[in-house]
Amino acid sequence: MRDVKPIRIFMTGVGGQGTLTATTLLAKTVLSQGLPVTSGEIHGMAQRGGVVESTVLIGCKSPKIGPGEADILLGFEPMETLRALPYLKPGGAVFSSTEFMPPLSVAMGKQESVTLDEVKAKVAACTDNAHYLPCQSLGLEAGAVQSGNVALLAAMCAGGALPFGPEALESAMRVNLPAKILDVNLKALELGVAAVRNA
């Protein structure tokens, strides 16, 4: 294996957000840069609303991420960001959506959800390298709510946490995404980059 600085990325969201699609796209972007990559699904639930967790590991021999080992936590939903926080290493980078997709018990008023401020406070106790953006809103602005996952990937690429920038993600999207959804996702990429650079 090529001598590459290991980077462990833990990704989490809920079913229907495109977490696994984003995982595949990120892995293909890493490969396009000539870097060794392993990706996998830790817990996957196909139904809408279920928790989805996946990993992308750059230059790592082990395919797993244990507690306290993730260099980057990518949370497509703030509650899932909070749940996955134990995987983040101290000082690691967090990129998280600010927009909740409440579970059924919260939607029905049977349980209260944490607030975004509570999520941010817990994250701040682990790292000061945290970035937040409204992924669903950015997806809608781009033309499809599902493209919010690309906005978050783009934010991570633009945030300096990886050995490549958003241009590599754009190139991988042009090769791997169907033409009918490419323009929407390119717009989402642009919005995600701007969200981090203008924060």
Asked if residues 52 and 24 have their Cβ atoms less than 8 Å apart, the reply is: no
The pLDDT of residue 48: 55
Q: What is the Cα–Cα distance from 163 to 178, expressed in whole angstroms?
A: 26
> Which residue shows structure tokens 């607030």?
115
Asked if residues 59 and 35 have their Cβ atoms less than 8 Å apart, the reply is: yes
Three-class secondary structure of residue 57 per DSSP:
strand
Split at pLDDT 50, 70, 90, the class of 42 is confident
Split at pLDDT 50, 70, 90, the class of 4 is confident
Work out the number of other CB atoms within 10 angstroms of the CB of residue 85: 23
The pLDDT of residue 50: 77
* pLDDT per position as a tens digit, 23-33: 999 999 999 99
* pLDDT per position as a tens digit, 104-131: 777 777 878 889 999 999 999 999 999 9
Q: Which amino acid, one-letter code, is at 81? A: T
Spatial CB neighbours of 137, under 8 Å, sequence gap ≥ 6: 99, 148
Over 60: is that where the pLDDT of 2 sits? no
Over 80: is that where the pLDDT of 178 sits? yes
**pTM of whole model > 0.85?**
yes
Split at pLDDT 50, 70, 90, the class of 164 is very high
Q: What is the Cα–Cα distance from 149 to 106, expressed in whole angstroms?
A: 23
Split at pLDDT 50, 70, 90, the class of 181 is very high
Computed over every residue of the chain, the mean pLDDT equals 91
Asked if residues 60 and 6 have their Cβ atoms less than 8 Å apart, the reply is: yes
Split at pLDDT 50, 70, 90, the class of 43 is low
